[in-house]
A and B are shown apart, each in its own frame.
Chain A
């Protein structure tokens, strides 16, 4: 009998597992996939290491900062900041036609860019920042307010509004066209007011530390172990039935599989409260270069681009929406003296799950090649052209997202409607991760910690 069974060995499940194992619970994490990490994972192909998910860690405050989500999660997991070896970004850009806003981990930089490009908006911007700084992320009452409405009250230039939404939606909005004000505030602080960073070794370094910590505390991790059913007796979870037929008993279950996915696993015959699955998914191209991007004149860490004044955040009718995207160069962090090796460019664009899911194997490969080119051709309008320096390429699609995360529809940020308290209709079944409401690596870890503290440690 386990004290807690955790479904999913992504960031949130591992973080929750560490908390519970540290406080002497018998914990088992069940992971359906062959590897850990969920959305934020990694793989090796033709001799090269690639990250999935992670472009950058958000919430990167200077070392020694005692406040904020990064400091909080390191404390809670008893992990030293040095273990994550976070190098800060060189600086990133938001590019719309005729306007480029540069930002770095020094918030003043963004402010001065706005003063230069949008001089009439600078007082409005300051008011916006005050409101965002005041937003209490432990108070859920603001969550449901429309960020679009709030921003249009504060900022009178619609272009600037779109330029804020583009990066924040790409990095964490499960909702189409709009964001919740709370989510907007949290993301704004995470990205602009705190900052971006990355370990030189990528996401695998973070995962390695989390798993080592979890196992060192006596936690069990089972890979290739899908849950078929969450078994319910008299309105109470008794355990899980695995896809391999084995049964495991637990006093409670914490699931990071997603809200609709978790509800569907429950075998109590209760009609599942319908909650739409997310519609937003991504394709991402990855190119290995024979040169450092900086040698091509590209110093930007992350470039968020949109090729018209209006930014559209919705499921595209096309296989991919190439009008906007995110270009990430993992080389462009301040790694100090670290050897940089080959260059890498990744481009993320909105994609249509149904199209990609409907292809047979041969056409899937062909369409990947076709859309790799289209996405790249669109992106090189905003960064130096690197197409002649490419050594190898790969691409993930919405169906890859399903394979790594189990999220229906390849919903990258899960369902639009979140369950902030993590509770379900059963008194010992809780959810954490994407559908609890926090996204990104830091957000997911905070979610796992929060739900473990709130629901799994207090008895």
Chain B
């Protein structure tokens, strides 16, 4: 997956876990928490969806990397680059 694919996938996950949020104007550089109504359970769900969809394991200590879109994509890129886009 390219970084563009990964970003698209994260947006898709956010749409599933927070269907009431408007994601069209999401600023990739700003923390999700400052733009969206996400709690710790939602962050767990981003991790769980990644595992469910792509078998990607994010250790609990690395949850902090999922703060913004940019940091998430940067963190996931090495883990997901070999995944073939479905």
Contact = CB atoms under 8 A, between A and B. Distances in A.
Contacts of A381: none
B48 A457 contact: yes
B41 interface: yes
Nearest to B49: A23
A443 to B, nearest CB: 15
Interface residues of A, number: 16
Contacts of B74: none
Given A23-B48, A23-B51, A23-B52, A66 B20 contact: yes
Interface stretch (B1-9, B11-19, B77-85): B11-19
Tell me whether chain B's interface is mostly helix, strand or loop, or mixed.
Answer: helix
Contacts of B44: 453, 457
Tell me whether chain A's interface is mostly helix, strand or loop, or mixed.
Answer: loop
B57 to A, nearest CB: 11
Contacts of B52: 22-24
Q: Which 6 A-B residue pairings sit nearest by Cβ, starting from the closest?
A: A66-B37, A23-B48, A23-B52, A66-B20, A453-B44, A75-B17
A406 B30 CA distance: 50
A71 interface: yes
Nearest to A454: B44
Interface in B9-61: 16-21, 37, 39, 41-42, 44-45, 48, 51-52, 60
A274 interface: no
Contact of B20 (A24, A71, A457, A458): A71
Contacts of B48: 23, 457
A71 B41 CA distance: 12
Contacts, number: 32
Taking each of A23, A80, A449, which has the highest tally of chain B beta carbons within 10 Å of its own beta carbon? A23
Contacts of B19: 75, 80
A215 interface: no
Contact of B16 (A24, A78, A458): A78
Contacts of B51: 23
Interface string A1-37: 0000000000000000000001110000000000000
A67 interface: yes
Contacts of A80: 19
A314 B44 CA distance: 41
Nearest to B40: A138
Interface in A56-109: 64, 66-67, 71-72, 75-76, 78, 80
A64 B39 CA distance: 16
A76 B45 contact: yes
Nearest to A76: B41
A420 B20 CA distance: 30
Nearest to A138: B40
A67 B39 CA distance: 9
B14 to A, nearest CB: 11
26 contacts: A22-B52, A23-B48, A23-B51, A23-B52, A24-B52, A64-B20, A66-B18, A66-B20, A66-B21, A66-B37, A67-B37, A72-B39, A75-B17, A75-B18, A75-B19, A75-B41, A75-B42, A75-B45, A76-B45, A78-B16, A78-B17, A80-B19, A449-B41, A453-B41, A453-B44, A457-B48
A448 to B, nearest CB: 13
Contacts of A24: 52
A241 B39 CA distance: 38
